[in-house]
Structure 1
């Protein structure tokens, strides 16, 4: 049996990776994120998570105003050591059409970040990422939690005085909200009905 050498990125540099380091790394697993200078690897996606992300991406892209676009699983450069990959983002149409950079958005491009919570991402999606998104000035954050086969959406808006998110609603059957733009999503549409 031949032992393959480990990739260089297995051992982080002193002080952790910067975004510039991260962008130069090759051979990383799909959906690797950079949070606090550390590489974050995700578990294989569950069906529920995949369907939630697809539903929100499709519905948000259909309902956003003309000057906005929805995108899925795109990294966002928040700072020198922060480059998470929200499940869904709503960005300006200008940012969506930009060809450089082609692999990520800047924090100022993002109007809304959406995370669907998985068992391995609970801490990051409930605490770490919202704090980083708020600090970067992203005005809206939605967290989608699983309750049995259903989804519950927790919606937050940035309070500019505290630079923290405040809750604007909890939604069970239907997400109906007017900020950051009017949107309505039937949360029962996650699982196909027979």
Structure 2
């Protein structure tokens, strides 16, 4: 579960206070000036994030900025700060500090303690911030699942849901084919994570 840090001061926190948090592998976020601390990710979570980042970088060929665990300031007061597992940007990272402009895509990989936060809390927060596309990946289930949400009139609408060895396809933020199974499975994942060779007329993944 999310925990409260024992040394949180009475005043509301800003991202400047995150410089004082320990480098212990846990994730330190802010919600309306309050510290929101999550345990360090487990191995399956780490594997899924790393493979997804590699796959997306291969597909976009450097035309987008893809980052794991980028800090996002969700308000101008810098009291609401989230760290998605992965995000895709169409602009360069700031020279200092954290991102304060919405990415094109935010991805959260569900951990045992983050089910409610990823599926409900962050869903509302990311929509309010204006993130056009939000993926929720469940690597805990017997069949890895992926839900794609897109922002419509300020609210996320589900546009796709795939499991296991089904092929997920989207054109947002760029053309992507992805088999959720290979985000965590043992074996030659790089050869299979993009699915079978597309039909004639479609781009072929290398």
Asked if 1:27 corresponds to 2:22, the answer is yes
* SS at structure 2 position matched to 1:150: coil
Asked if 1:12 corresponds to 2:9, the answer is yes
Distance, in Å, in 2 between the alignment partners of 1:167 and 1:193 is 31
Residues 28, 10 of structure 1: CA spacing in aligned structure 2 closer, same or farther, 3 A cutoff? Answer: farther
* SS at structure 2 position matched to 1:106: coil
Contact 1:51 1:191 (8 Å CA) reproduced: no
Aligned to 1:170: 161
| 2:51 corresponds to which of 51, 55, 76 | 55
Structure ranking higher in helix proportion:
1
TM-score, normalised to structure 2, is 0.77
| 2:130 corresponds to which of 121, 124, 137 | 137
Deviating beyond 4 angstroms after TM superposition, the runs of 4 or more aligned structure 1 residues are none
Contact 1:12 1:38 (8 Å CA) reproduced: no
* SS at structure 2 position matched to 1:89: strand
The one-character-per-residue Cα deviations of 1:125-147 (angstroms, maximum 9, x if unpaired) are 01111111110111110000135
Alignment of 1:41-52 (within 5 A): 41-52=37-48
Structure ranking higher in strand proportion:
1
Measure how far apart 1:66 and its partner are. Answer: 5.0
The one-character-per-residue Cα deviations of 1:119-178 (angstroms, maximum 9, x if unpaired) are 11111101111111110111110000135343100001111x2x1111110011222112
Contact 1:76 1:105 (8 Å CA) reproduced: yes
Flag structure 2 segments of 5+ consecutive residues without an equivalent: 189-206
Residues 137, 65 of structure 1: CA spacing in aligned structure 2 closer, same or farther, 3 A cutoff? Answer: farther
TM-score, normalised to structure 1, is 0.81
| 1:122 corresponds to which of 109, 115, 138 | 115
Residues 29, 17 of structure 1: CA spacing in aligned structure 2 closer, same or farther, 3 A cutoff? Answer: farther
Out of 71-80 and 36-45, give the one that drifted further: 36-45
Distance, in Å, in 2 between the alignment partners of 1:47 and 1:23 is 25
Residues 65, 138 of structure 1: CA spacing in aligned structure 2 closer, same or farther, 3 A cutoff? Answer: farther
Residues 66, 43 of structure 1: CA spacing in aligned structure 2 closer, same or farther, 3 A cutoff? Answer: closer
The one-character-per-residue Cα deviations of 1:58-85 (angstroms, maximum 9, x if unpaired) are 1112223654121101111111321110
Distance, in Å, in 2 between the alignment partners of 1:122 and 1:153 is 13
Contact 1:144 1:151 (8 Å CA) reproduced: yes
Residues 149, 47 of structure 1: CA spacing in aligned structure 2 closer, same or farther, 3 A cutoff? Answer: farther
